[in-house]
Amino acid sequence: MRRYLFIVLLVISFSVQAQSNTGNYKYIIVPEKFSFLKQINRYGLNTAIKAFFEEKGFTVYFDNVEIPQEIATDRCKALVADLQENNTMFVTNITLLLKDCRGAIVMKSKPGKSREKEYETSYNMALKEALTSFNDFKYAADKPTEITNAGSANANVEVKTAPLPVNEPVVVKTEAQEALLYAQPISNGYQLIDATPKIVMTLLKTSVEDSYISNKGNTNGIVLKKNGNWFFEYYKNNVLVSEKLSIKF
């Protein structure tokens, strides 16, 4: 039990450190044209992204204007917005990324999708859905950025653990998850796919064998192996929930 509590504390430390790292950014740079589109500010996507993050308290610049000296001399003080397109014949599918000065993905939205036939409407509806991933992503000068987005891509963080609680009872509620999930490797772990296929969970590697920092929607926890079975463990209303998983690696 102490081992599992250690991993839970590791997850909490990971979340706090990730917030601190992203909270260092005050500026966001939005390109005037995304690579998959031929025109500047096509469909108004660029201005929509700029306006969205300005409402969140960030200072946002287009990359075609004169950048202030503070970030012109140190681009690592700013995040850069980018859009990825993965359209199919009938679906507009775009994902919004925030990258650091080295091109590493700091945050990644869920895919925004639309089946509208008219391009401008379809792209704007898809962008609106993607931006919901950043609803709790805010800049405040007097405190670190608050992030509840589980898709944060910054996994290379220093983990600091707190002391283990002494004689603290832990109530475990067990739930079953019967659908088979398929593990697809990613750079720092796995993503679990159902038969749809749809990404259900992400697993980030830890230094403990068969233990992963995990998220499922807005729920953060750990996935670990016990007695030959996989479990997703997280706290809900101060109760430790242990959800049995069926995973095919």
Average pLDDT, rounded, for the chain: 77
CB 22 within 8 A of CB 34: no
CATH class given for the domain over 24-134:
alpha beta
Q: How distant, in Å, are the alpha carbons of 92, 173, 209, 230 from that of 176? A: 35, 10, 23, 11
pLDDT tens-place string over residues 46-58: 999 999 999 888 8
For residue 25, the Cα-to-chain-centroid distance in whole angstroms is 16
- Average the pLDDT over each of 81-95, 135-149, 203-217, 224-238 and give the range with the smallest value: 135-149
Q: Is the pLDDT of residue 185 over 50?
A: yes
pLDDT tens-place string over residues 58-87: 899 998 877 888 887 888 889 999 999 998
Residue 84's pLDDT is 92
pLDDT tens-place string over residues 109-146: 999 999 998 989 999 999 999 999 888 777 766 544 44
Per domain, the residue ranges of the chain are 2-19+168-248, 24-134
Pick from 61-70, 169-178, 216-225 the range whose average pLDDT is largest: 216-225
pTM of the model: 0.51
* Strand intervals (E) in 100-171: 105-108, 112-114
- For 198, residues 6+ apart whose C-beta sits below 8 A from its C-beta are none
pLDDT tens-place string over residues 13-55: 444 334 334 456 889 999 999 999 989 999 999 999 999 999 8
